[in-house]
Structure 1
Amino acid sequence: MKKVVASNQKGGVGKSAIICQYAHYLNSLGLRVLVIDLDHQKNTTKALITGGAVTVANVSAFDILTKEDQTISNPEAFTLVQATPELTAIEKNGTLHNNFATNYQKFLKSVDSLFDVCLIDTNPNPDIRQVASLIVSDYVLSPIQLNQEAIDGIGGLLKQIQAINQKLNPNLKLIGILPNIVEPTPFQKDNLKAIVQHFSKYLIKNSDGSYAFVKKTTAIAEAQAQGIPTNKLGKTSGFTAWAELKTVFESINKFMEI
């Protein structure tokens, strides 16, 4: 089972939408997909449950961090370990952080043969949920928005990943930075150019040599509200968005050798 965490140190970057649409894409390929939502805002949980395509696991994200020997007794081809409000209390239990990471690792080992890919959505704050997810994952994907604050934060994000890589998880690989919610404004075009100029080696390359990014589109927002992939919206904008997302997802799959 390949484990992928979507990680960023800032909220509002559309991380949950990327996770959900990517999960739908992987599921459409016939792969067994597990999604873990560690963000107490529950955006991923709400979207996937609304769509009705997932089976909600018998354990929650809070359970797999705080309890020993947790596993999934009702695995299906598309399964969600949902977020719950209790997750907000996780960071306060500092003395138990090592236990959380150990429980998390054991849980993932227990379901390793049940799924092909595990997608993990984390909260934007760099607390134990995010750090533990980086420790247990094989790959990290970092969606960002093209504003100055996000660009300024890229260095910190890369340093965090590098530190985890050197000290706690030598197997962690950065798939890349993924500009998301991209608008065709002069400001965002300039910011995209700046990212390409300074961080090109950390961007995801498509098969045609272009750098991957996801445009801002109402189709993605509508699909998330309904909990479905954009190509199920039944409108041209949905098919167009799906074709663009598919190009990005194919590039991610190629990186992970899926």
Structure 2
Amino acid sequence: MAAVVAVANQKGGVGKTFVACQLSFYTARAGARTLLLELDQQMNASRSLIRGGRVAVAGFTMLDVLEGREGVLPEGDLVLVPGHGGLGALERQPARHNDFVNALQRFLAAVGKDFAVCVMDTNPSPDVRYAAALATADFLLAPVQLNQEAIDGIESLMLHKRYGFFRMRELLNPKLELIGILPNLVEATPFQRANLQQLVLRHPGLLIPVVRGQAAGYAYVPTRTAIAEAQAAGVPLWELRQTSPAEASPCDGVEGKVLQGRSAMPLRSAARDAWREIRPSFDAITARLLREV
């Protein structure tokens, strides 16, 4: 059965979508057939991945899944069930909330044998979709930013009276495990270094241990221009290429020529450097997921 991980935080703007997309690329690259489910009505992950053309896209959406009318998934090493603009309306149907959760659980049980990993990119609001993700996942991975508001918000992530990690595990999903908190959009400034140290002191057991070279540390994702560019292009960070002349002049050619030009361009050194920094974190997360398969 697939190891199901919810990439979740009750606060928006912490980089969940980048983590969900790039982790999905990486687990698929590792030979683990991967399913990515987008529960956010903004559909940022879906637009990015469809734009990049590296995924097989289901002919139905997560709204269909939660309402129990999904279809057959396509073949492919990385398969996407896209989000839908109507997902936000599900919270306003309280009489059907249990049905939504049960429908997601049935779907995962039905397709789990065909995948090694399932990644759920969640919406930032604590609502029925957030609850459904945590109620059906095996793991929680929580990207956070290194500012005081986000650090203070970790308490809500863990202890929220309805949707906190411990509450969800106690009432709905005793198998749910915390992979850890993943500092994201990390900058090499004294302010952020101080906040990281504060996070280590306050929540050492919530961070993800990694080894870089000979040094022990914790998982994190830095702020790099190449990261945003890879997400905009919908490609793995480690495969981000330089911009081709065809892409710089979109009005003078056919889409096929643009794609051909992109694939012929050299890899971006900034992307390679960023990936070298990020990879130990993704290795640690992937090892935890694949250990359960």
What interval of TM-score do these two structures reach, taking the shorter chain for normalisation?
Answer: over 0.9
- Matched-pair contact (CA < 8 Å) for 1:141–1:174: yes
Equivalent-residue separation in structure 1 for 2:277 and 2:137 (angstroms) = 26
Letter in structure 2 aligned against 1:3:
V
Q: What SS does structure 2 have at the residue aligned with 1:206?
A: strand
Equivalent-residue separation in structure 1 for 2:106 and 2:75 (angstroms) = 17
| Residue number in structure 2 paired with 1:92 | 92
Letter in structure 2 aligned against 1:60:
T
Correspondences of 1:104-123 after superposition (within 5 Å): 104-123=104-123
Matched, 1:175 2:153: no
Equivalent-residue separation in structure 2 for 1:122 and 1:230 (angstroms) = 21
Shift, 1:71, TM fit:
4.5
Identity %: 42
Matched, 1:243 2:244: no
The number of equivalent residue pairs is 257
Letter in structure 2 aligned against 1:167:
L
| Residue number in structure 1 paired with 2:67 | 66
- Matched-pair contact (CA < 8 Å) for 1:8–1:124: yes
Equivalent-residue separation in structure 1 for 2:109 and 2:150 (angstroms) = 34
Q: Which runs of 5+ in 2 are unaligned?
A: 241-266
| Residue number in structure 2 paired with 1:232 | 239
| Residue number in structure 2 paired with 1:213 | 220
Shift, 1:121, TM fit:
0.5
| Residue number in structure 1 paired with 2:245 | none
Q: Which runs of 5+ in 1 are unaligned?
A: none
- Matched-pair contact (CA < 8 Å) for 1:33–1:79: yes
Equivalent-residue separation in structure 2 for 1:243 and 1:26 (angstroms) = 16
Equivalent-residue separation in structure 1 for 2:60 and 2:114 (angstroms) = 15
Shift, 1:253, TM fit:
2.0
Matched, 1:80 2:62: no
What is the TM-score with the length of structure 1 in the denominator? 0.97
Shift, 1:142, TM fit:
0.2
Letter in structure 1 aligned against 2:167:
A
The equivalent position to 1:202 in structure 2, one of 190, 202, 206, is: 206
- Matched-pair contact (CA < 8 Å) for 2:183–2:221: yes
| Residue number in structure 2 paired with 1:142 | 142
- Matched-pair contact (CA < 8 Å) for 1:72–1:111: no
Equivalent-residue separation in structure 1 for 2:73 and 2:149 (angstroms) = 43
Shift, 1:72, TM fit:
2.8
Q: CA RMSD in A?
A: 1.2
- Matched-pair contact (CA < 8 Å) for 1:16–1:121: yes
Shift, 1:241, TM fit:
1.4
Matched, 1:164 2:168: yes
- Matched-pair contact (CA < 8 Å) for 2:27–2:286: no
What is the TM-score with the length of structure 2 in the denominator? 0.85
- Per-residue CA distance 1:55-74 (angstroms, 9 max, x = gap): 11122100110125x34342
Letter in structure 2 aligned against 1:244:
E
Equivalent-residue separation in structure 1 for 2:277 and 2:19 (angstroms) = 12
